[in-house]
Each structure stands twice: as C-alpha cells, then as structure tokens.
C-alpha cells in the first residue's frame, strides 16, 4: 500500500552517505517520500530519485530558543500540509523538535538516536535542557531506535523513553560499496583518523600517538580526514603537518580510496557516538580498527580479533595498542582484517536496517 513518508534531516551529506539505500527502496516500493532538510545544491540528488525536498533551515549547533521554536513551527506546518503516514528522523534536533511536532499533530514518528555527542558526557545546563526536551518529546513518540546499548540504558534510566524503543545495528554499511580489499605492502605502515577535528573526537590523543610512534617507527604515516571543527586546532594541525608528523587531507566525500591505502583506522573518540560509521566502513573493507572503549565502538571492535580497544583519553594506552599492531606479522594482520569483514557482514549489513524501517511502515498501517 502506497504511503506518504516524511524524513527529517539536518544535512544532505549524512542522509546521502547513510540513508540513500533506504530512501531508494522506499521510492522503488511506490511510496511518496518527502525530505525536510537545509537547502543545498546537492539536494537535487534526492529530487532526481523521485523525492520531494522541502528546504528547512536547521541550526545544527547549540540551543537558540527563537530559532528552535521556529523549527518546531516549520515541522508542524510541514506535517499539517503533507499529512504523513509515518515520519523518520535522524540526529538531535530533527528527533526532538520533530517528535514535539509529531505529538502535537498526532503523527507517528520513528526517531533514530545516531549518537548524543558531548551532550550527556558532563552534567551541566545544556545536558539538563537536552534531558528535559528528550523527555517531553520521546516519551510520547511512536518509536525510538537506539544504535548502542549505552545510549539505550542512559535514556531508560533517566526516564527519557518508556517502552517505545528498539535496537538497530547502527546505520549499517553498504557491503557492495565497501568491498573487501587487500592490505597494502608494509614498506610504509599507514594509519587513518576519520572524523571532525575536535577535542571530543580524540584528536589530541591521535596527534600524540603520531608524534611518539614516528620517532620509533619512521616508516609510519598518519592521515587525518575530516573538517577542522574547532578553530583552535587549525594552527596545531598546520604545525604537525609542517613537521611531517601527520598528513591532513581534509574532508573526503569518498573515503574509500583512503581506507584502501591504509592498514588501520584509529577512532579515539571520548564518547557520544552511535555506532561509528568510520569503523564500520573500515572493517567492511578489511581494515583493523583501534578505538576507544566507548559505547558503539565496543560493538564493532572485538579485542585482539578484529582490532584493539584502549581507555578513552589515554594516549599512552593508544600508543601501546598501535605498537602491538605494528609488531604483528603480516599474516596475523591479514587474518584480523578478514575477521573484521566477517563481523560486519554478519552484524552490520545495511539491509538489516532497511528491513527494520520497512517493518515499521507495515506495523504502522
């Protein structure tokens, strides 16, 4: 049966990278798909697919009562106009303010908690406000998808949800797009950081690791792929680049070629992740991952089998794990790579997520 489906997003690139397969399936199944997201020249991709794109400004950072209230009103207006059979949302503001609008207009919404960032890592005014907003939005919403058990447990323990939730394995990974590939030769050992350059993502620990490891193993290369989110790091990154400690390659729309060039992906995040796509994509291509021991990352990395885990914020522990990896013989590295691919195939195939959403459409009838 043809349905009217509304999708709330805060950015084109995340929708394109992690949801395009689901959206294509919805269109192919004959559903009418509306996408509310900020204006972007790239939005034409979804228009050409057959979706109706609604330009909706979303202030992705911080809490501004006036702008956020306007966003709720926009969502209410969109829902009253479209009258969706079900709404899917991603990231904090579309989740919270979309749910408030859905509750007021009596629409069904499935919110995907893709991670909470720094919001609940420290108890402060922002965390208190966010907790309150989640309570008044999520507790009355139709369904909440959690990507890791840490987030689920936190929301349940703090009474932000009732029994209206389910677990999904992150955003999943397109196994055809991210194919298994051979490890490069070991004449140079290449490491890759994928993510926004900011304190929360553990860039300080990555830089310290690169500096220490290169002193002992000069044939190592450390790459950084991602936007510089916090301006204070611009001079620091430039200094490390000039000294030959790291290579900054900026944000990469297609990260595959860089994963292929590297032997290992490092994600030193301090927390607030869902299930990190950087780890899923790297593991799918047969790369060992070294990650901090946090919710989400722990789901992807099996210690000593597919990669290594270290204590969050502990650069010495990270250095130790990188050294352990370097000292492994080539055949052991190859076996870990194969195990990483196998784990992703079994547990994180994006088709699993697509089926979960299709099931929600069926049960919402």
pLDDT attached to residue 329: 96
CATH of 189-347 among 3.30.1330.10, 1.20.120.160, 3.40.640.10, 3.40.50.2000 = 3.40.50.2000
Give the global pTM. 0.92
pLDDT attached to residue 25: 97
pLDDT attached to residue 364: 73
If DSSP codes are grouped into helix, strand and coil, which group holds residue 171? coil
pLDDT attached to residue 59: 87
User: CB-based contacts of 181: which residues, under 8 Å, 6+ apart?
Assistant: 260, 285, 286
pLDDT attached to residue 118: 67
Query: How big is the chain, counted in residues?
Result: 365
Measured between alpha carbons, how far is 68 from 174 in angstroms, rounded to an integer? 34
Contact between 239 and 211 under an 8 Å Cβ cutoff? The reply is: no
CATH of 4-172+349-363 among 3.30.420.10, 3.30.70.100, 3.40.50.2000, 3.10.290.10 = 3.40.50.2000
If DSSP codes are grouped into helix, strand and coil, which group holds residue 110? strand
pLDDT attached to residue 63: 74
pLDDT attached to residue 62: 67
Long-range contacts: 301-304, Cβ < 8 Å, 24+? 302/339, 302/343
Long-range contacts: 152-156, Cβ < 8 Å, 24+? 154/116, 154/120, 155/113
pLDDT attached to residue 253: 85
**Residues 1-39: pLDDT tens digits?**
899 999 999 999 999 999 999 999 999 999 999 999 999
pLDDT attached to residue 119: 73
User: CB-based contacts of 4: which residues, under 8 Å, 6+ apart?
Assistant: 31, 32, 34, 82, 83, 84, 85
Residues of the chain short of pLDDT 50, as ranges, are none
Helix ranges (H only) for the chain are: 12-28, 44-49, 65-82, 92-105, 125-138, 149-157, 203-216, 232-242, 256-261, 277-284, 297-300, 315-327, 330-347, 350-363
If DSSP codes are grouped into helix, strand and coil, which group holds residue 134? helix
pLDDT attached to residue 80: 98
Residue 34 is classified by DSSP as: E
pLDDT attached to residue 309: 98
- Residues of CATH 3.40.50.2000 domain(s) within the chain? 4-172+349-363, 189-347
């Amino acid at each position: 049966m043809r349905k009217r489906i509304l999708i709330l997003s805060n950015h084109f690139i995340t929708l394109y990278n992690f949801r395009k397969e689901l959206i294509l399936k919805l269109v192919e199944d004959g559903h009418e798909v509306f996408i509310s997201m900020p204006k972007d020249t790239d939005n034409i991709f979804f228009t050409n697919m057959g979706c109706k794109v609604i330009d909706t400004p979303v202030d992705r950072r911080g809490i501004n009562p006036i702008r956020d209230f306007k966003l709720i009103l926009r969502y209410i207006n969109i829902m009253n106009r479209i009258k969706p059979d079900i709404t899917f949302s991603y990231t904090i503001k579309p989740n919270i303010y979309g749910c408030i609008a859905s509750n007021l207009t009596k629409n069904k919404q499935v919110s995907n908690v893709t991670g909470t960032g720094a919001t609940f890592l420290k108890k402060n005014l922002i965390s208190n406000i966010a907790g309150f907003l989640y309570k008044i939005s999520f507790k009355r919403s139709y369904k909440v998808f959690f990507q890791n058990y840490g987030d689920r447990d936190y929301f349940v323990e703090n009474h932000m949800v009732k029994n209206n939730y389910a677990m999904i394995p992150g955003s999943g990974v397109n196994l055809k797009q991210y194919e298994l590939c051979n490890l490069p030769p070991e004449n140079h050992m290449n490491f890759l950081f994928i993510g926004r350059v900011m304190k929360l993502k553990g860039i300080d620990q990555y830089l310290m690791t690169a500096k220490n490891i290169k002193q002992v193993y000069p044939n190592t290369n450390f790459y950084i792929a991602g936007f510089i989110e916090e301006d204070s790091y611009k001079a620091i990154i430039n200094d490390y680049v000039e000294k030959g400690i790291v290579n900054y390659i900026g944000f990469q729309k297609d990260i595959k070629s860089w994963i292929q060039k590297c032997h290992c992906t490092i994600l030193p995040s301090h927390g607030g992740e869902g299930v990190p796509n950087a780890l899923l994509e790297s593991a799918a291509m047969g790369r060992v991952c070294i990650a901090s021991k946090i919710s989400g990352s722990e789901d992807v990395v099996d210690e000593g089998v597919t990669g290594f885990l270290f204590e969050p914020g502990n650069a010495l522990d990270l250095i130790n794990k990188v050294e352990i990896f370097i000292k492994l013989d080539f055949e052991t590295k190859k076996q870990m790579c194969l195990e990483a691919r196998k784990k992703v195939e079994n547990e994180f195939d994006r088709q699993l997520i697509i089926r979960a959403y299709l099931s929600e459409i069926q049960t919402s009838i």
